[in-house]
Amino acid sequence: MNTQTNTEVQHYLDAMREALSDLPAAEVGEIMDDAGAHVVEVAEEMGDEFTLAALTDRLGTPQAYAQELRAAADYPAPAPAAPTSIQPMLVARFALWSLVAGTVMAFAFATSRGDGEGLTLLVGLVAAVGALLVFRQKGLLADISRLPETVALNEALQRAERSEPLRVFLTSLRAWQPAWWVGRALLIAGVGMLAYRVRSPIVLVLIVLAALSLLAGPKAKTDRRWLWISLPATGFAIGGLLLVLASMTSWLDYRPSSSPVSYTTSTRVPDNIYVFDKDGKPLTDVHLYDEDGQPLNTPWHGCNGSPFRDDNRFPRPQVVHDENGCREIPGVPPFTIVIPGAAPTVTTTPVTGQPSVTSTGQPSVTSTAPPPTQSVPPTAVVPTS
Task: Give the number of other Cβ atoms within 10 Å of residue 137's Cβ.
Answer: 14
The answer to whether 309 touches 316, Cβ cutoff 8 Å, is: yes
Angle between helices 117-136 and 86-111 (to 10 degrees): 140
Strand bridging mode 282-283 / 275-276? antiparallel
pLDDT, residue 79, reads 60
Cα–Cα distances (Å) from 275 to 189, 297, 301, 316, in that order, read 70, 16, 20, 11
Is 117 strand, coil or helix? helix
Is 276 strand, coil or helix? strand
Q: Is the pLDDT of residue 384 over 60?
A: no
Q: Is the pLDDT of residue 331 over 90?
A: no
pLDDT, residue 95, reads 92
For residues 121 and 351, the model is more confident at 121
| Average pLDDT value for residue range 206-215 | 90
Which residues does 234 contact at the CB level (< 8 Å), separation at least 6? 103, 184, 213
Is 360 strand, coil or helix? coil
| Average pLDDT value for residue range 310-317 | 82
Cα separation, 59 vs 236, whole angstroms: 29
Q: What is the pLDDT of residues 47-87, one digit of tens each?
A: 877 787 888 888 888 888 888 888 887 777 766 554 555 67
Tell whether pTM > 0.75: no
Cα separation, 4 vs 185, whole angstroms: 33
Return the amino acid letter for 161: E
Q: Is the pLDDT of residue 364 over 70?
A: no
Q: What is the pLDDT of residues 15-56, one digit of tens each?
A: 888 888 878 877 888 888 888 888 888 888 888 777 878 888
Cα separation, 109 vs 125, whole angstroms: 14
Burial (CB count within 10 angstroms: exposed 0-12, middle 13-18, buried 19+), residue 356 = exposed
Give φ, ψ of 342 to 5 degrees: -80, 180
pLDDT, residue 132, reads 92
Cα separation, 147 vs 137, whole angstroms: 17
Best CA proximity match to 297, nearest among 319, 269, 324:
269
For residues 344 and 149, the model is more confident at 149
Name the strand (E) or helix (H) holding 357.
strand 355-357
pLDDT, residue 94, reads 93
Return the amino acid letter for 83: P
To the nearest 5 percent, what fractions of the chain are helix, strand and coil?
A: 55, 10, 35
Strand bridging mode 318-322 / 355-357? unpaired
Return the amino acid letter for 358: T
Cα separation, 190 vs 14, whole angstroms: 44
Cα separation, 215 vs 194, whole angstroms: 23
For residues 252 and 20, the model is more confident at 20
Of the pLDDT bands very low, low, confident and very high (cuts 50, 70, 90), residue 235 is: very high
Burial (CB count within 10 angstroms: exposed 0-12, middle 13-18, buried 19+), residue 89 = middle
Return the amino acid letter for 318: Q
| Average pLDDT value for residue range 305-327 | 75
Cα separation, 328 vs 346, whole angstroms: 47
Q: What is the pLDDT of residues 370-382, one digit of tens each?
A: 455 444 444 555 5
